[in-house]
Amino acid sequence: MLILLRFIKIRTYEKNCFPTLGLVISSITFAQDRYEVLKKASNTNWRGYKLFKTESTSHYGTAKLRDGYFMLNKNHQLISGSFNVNLKTIESDDLKKDPKEKKNLENHLKGEDFFDVKNFPIASLQIRKIKASNDQNHPLQVTGDITIKAITKPGIFKGNYLLENGQLSFFSDKITINRRDFKLIYEAQYADVIIKDDIDLKVSIRA
């Protein structure tokens, strides 16, 4: 700290137009806490729809997180974060009773016309802004960048977090993306028409 203060004093003397730069940097450095994602205790849930957007006409499942982190300020308020989803771990939960169909769907989702996990194995969310929402169950409105197949689009969703005994738990409300925005298009034209464009995601993360 003595070295830092001496540096600030010298820079202030030499560059009067930036008298507080060093102080701002030091406050950011020392006031934020970083929480690394616990992969085994975290999950991403997905749901896609056929014909109609109902639970009875949908496929759903999970994908595992590869890594990520959250940043909290000195008042223990969530201010930013980033996490990456390993798309190679996509799994269908609704077809567990039919192993053959389950495998077919998972292979299709990982294939070139959808997530193309061979070339784009990671999807990510970068949290850019957080403000209060009017939803009691999800009191945060989160603005971020969603990246799939190297295509980045803005996203806004609601969420909540708890900080207990040094562990952070983050839960999102439904995050809806348009699959066409990320070139997730079924190569069979007729089949692509009967698949809804919306894909709903939810994340549950511990850090």
pLDDT in tens, 127-183: 999 999 998 889 999 999 999 999 999 999 999 999 998 899 999 999 999 999 999
Q: Give percent of the chain with pLDDT exceeding 90.
A: 67
**% of the chain exceeding 70 in pLDDT:** 78
pLDDT at 117 over 80: yes
Query: Mind listing the pLDDT tens digit for each residue in 84-99?
Result: 999 999 999 999 999 9
pLDDT of residue 5: 33
pLDDT reported for residue 187: 65
Which pLDDT score, from 0 to 100, does residue 78 have? Answer: 93
Distance of CA 127 to CAs 71, 75, 139, 150, 184, Å?
10, 19, 16, 17, 23
> What's the mean pLDDT in 99-122?
94
State the pLDDT confidence band at 42, using cuts at 50, 70 and 90: very high
What pLDDT does residue 186 have? 74
Please give the model's pTM, rounded to 2 decimal places.
Answer: 0.79
* Mean predicted lDDT score pLDDT of the chain: 82
Residue 81 pLDDT more than 70? yes
Q: Are 45 and 171 in contact (CB under 8 A)?
A: no
Residue 8 confidence (pLDDT): 30
